[in-house]
Amino acid sequence: MQQDLRSMNLEEMAALLAEAGQPAFRAKQLFGWIHQKQVAHMEQMHNLGKPLLSYLEQHCHITVMELERKQVSRDGTEKFLFRLADGNDIECVLMRYRGDLSKQRNTLCISSQVGCAMGCTFCATGQGGFVRNLTVGEIVSQVYEVNRHLQAEGDELPVGNVVFMGMGEPLLNLDHVLQAIGLLNHPQGQQIGIRRITVSTCGIVPKLQELAQQKLDLVLAVSLHAPNNEQRSSVMPVNRQYPLEQLMAACRKYQAINRNRISFEYALIAGFNDQPVHVQQLKQLLQGMDCHLNIIPVNPVANTAQFSRPDKKQVSAFVKALQKAGLKASVREEKGTDIDGACGQLRGKVLKQQQSV
Ligand code: SAH
Ligand code: SF4
């Protein structure tokens, strides 16, 4: 089996080169080409010498990911649909924040799986089911390929923030996600600061405990969406396996170990989870925790017409009520709704088009 260079860390490259009878310093060179310069073709690595290059060409490959489609939203958000080597599609969303020089950044929302097994009823990815986990190389390649795109466009800022909020449940592909984070964060790679990496989960309790033990300084986001078991289970099947008591206990334990503020995602659905009683339940649930509630007006998704999106007034009234109850809360700036910016929507559309051909 050919090894994917983009999936390999420095130690694995060192072992590979030892096997090839190459001097140890070549591992750093190779790592720099793959994870810092982010080349997509082996012949670009011109200082490795012919014997090594031909060895690599025989034994290795570099993740192939073709840009299948790109859509640009009116607000500038860009959505990339990539085709993987096995024909599966994944998507990521680029948000370019401008304004003050110090605040400029390019944030990329990336996928961890093809599809998702968790079946949340409001989520397009969840409706499509699970296909497979992404490899480490496929996870980092989303960043590398978008960087190439930025460079080609003359944008001098590479991706500086990464959020695992695209397709899939990152904690169900935890090993690969952690290895990918290690590469993105690596001092000889792209050096994306660990505080600039967010992992979002629907609440897989044992995996959350495992992540806590890693003692990583990353930003943890937990998809809450409802503050009581009955309602949460009705939209998030995972809640039947790991109900709120267990999830919140795991979050508190996570915070006792890692100390950082936890973000809770709350998709606001008109008439479902936006009532005064929900404010009180949230207050109880989150009491004493250092956390922030991100309120996201639910994105309407095909087959989920039952979820109505609250208007601006309703959203800000709910946020105000939360703040009055002593919680930190804000509306997550919405991006790209006109280009199916919500989770899993673009892939869903392309699949449908393919099926109807
Ligand atoms: N599986 C992980 C990460 C990917 S989903 C998780 O669930 O956290 C990223 C975020 O988008 C989650 O908070 C998810 O609940 C939210 N989301 C999915 N579909 C949505 C929709 N239709 N409207 C608003 N948010 C949605
Ligand atoms: Fe999966 Fe997250 Fe979508 Fe739920 S919201 S189906 S966990 S991707």
Share of the chain above pLDDT 70, in %: 92
- Ligand 2 and 116: CB distance under 6 A: yes
Confidence of residue 357 (pLDDT cuts 50, 70, 90): very low
**At 293, phi and psi to the nearest 5?**
-95, 120
Confidence of residue 74 (pLDDT cuts 50, 70, 90): confident
Residue 341 — very low, low, confident or very high, per pLDDT cuts 50/70/90? low
Q: Which of 112, 114, 120, 235 gets mutated to test ligand 2 (max ligand atoms within 8 A of its CB)?
A: 120
Smallest-distance ligand from the CA of 119: 2
3-class SS of residue 233: helix
Residue 333 CA, ligand 1 centroid: distance in Å:
14
Nearest ligand to the CA atom of 225: 1
* Parts of the chain belonging to CATH 1.10.150.530: 3-61
* Atom number in ligand 2 closest to CA 124: 3
* Selection from 45, 87, 32, 93 nearest residue 65 by Cα: 87
CB-ligand 2 contact for 118 (6 Å cutoff): yes
| Closest atom, ligand 2, to C-alpha of 200 | 2
Which pLDDT belongs to residue 169?
Answer: 97
User: Contact, 120 vs 133, CB < 8 A?
Assistant: no
The atom of ligand 1 lying closest to the CA of 222 is 8
More confident: 298 or 227:
227
Please give the number of the atom of ligand 1 that sits closest to the Cα of 221: 8
What percent of the chain stands above pLDDT 90? 82
Mean pLDDT of 96-123: 91
pTM for this structure?
0.94
- pLDDT of 332 reads 79
What is the pLDDT, as a whole number, of residue 306?
77
Q: Whose CA is nearest to atom 9 of ligand 1?
A: 165
Judge contact between 192 and 160, C-beta under 8 A: yes
Confirm or reject: Cβ of 169 under 6 Å from ligand 2: yes
From the CA of 307, the nearest ligand is 1
CATH of domain 3-61: 1.10.150.530
Find out whether the beta carbon of 125 lies less than 6 Å from any atom of ligand 2: yes
Task: Tell me which residue has its CA closest to atom 4 in ligand 1.
Answer: 165
Query: What angle is formed at CA 33 by the lines to CA 32 and CA 38, rounded to 5 degrees?
Result: 105
Which residue's CA lies nearest to atom 8 of ligand 1? Answer: 201
Which ligand neighbours the alpha carbon of 304 most closely? 1
The number of CA neighbours under 13 Å toward the Cβ of 194 is 12
pLDDT band at 354 (very low <50, low <70, confident <90, very high): very low
Which ligand 2 atom is at minimum distance from the Cα of 127?
6
Predicted confidence (pLDDT) at residue 345 exceeds the cutoff of 70: no
Region of residue 326 (left: phi > 0; alpha: psi -120 to 50; beta: else): left
Q: 293-316: per-residue pLDDT in tens?
A: 999 999 877 665 678 889 999 999
The pLDDT of 106-130, averaged and rounded, is: 94
Class of domain 66-356: alpha beta
Mean pLDDT, rounded, for 166-190: 97
Got the DSSP string for 34-49? IIIS--SSGGG-TTS-
Alpha-carbon distance of 146 to 164, in angstroms, equals 15
Domain with CATH 3.20.20.70 in the chain: 66-356
What is the 123 CA–ligand 2 centroid distance (Å)? 6
Let me know the angle formed at the C-alpha of 64 by 197 and 127, rounded to the nearest 5 degrees: 65
Give yes or no for residue 222 CB within 6 A of ligand 2: no
Pocket test for ligand 2, best of 93, 114, 123 (most atoms within 8 A of CB): 123
Q: How confident is the model at residue 64 (pLDDT cuts 50, 70, 90)?
A: confident
Give the pLDDT confidence score for residue 338 in this predicted structure. 63
Question: Catalytic annotation on 343?
Answer: yes
pLDDT above 60 for 342: no
Looking at residue 353, what is its pLDDT? Answer: 45
**Averaged confidence pLDDT in the chain:** 91
Q: What is the pLDDT of residues 82-92, one digit of tens each?
A: 999 999 999 99
Question: 51 CA distance to ligand 1 centroid (A)?
Answer: 48
DSSP classification of residue 170: G
> From residue 86, how far is each of 135, 150, 350 by CA, in Å?
12, 26, 16
User: What pLDDT, on the 0 to 100 scale, is given for residue 241?
Assistant: 98
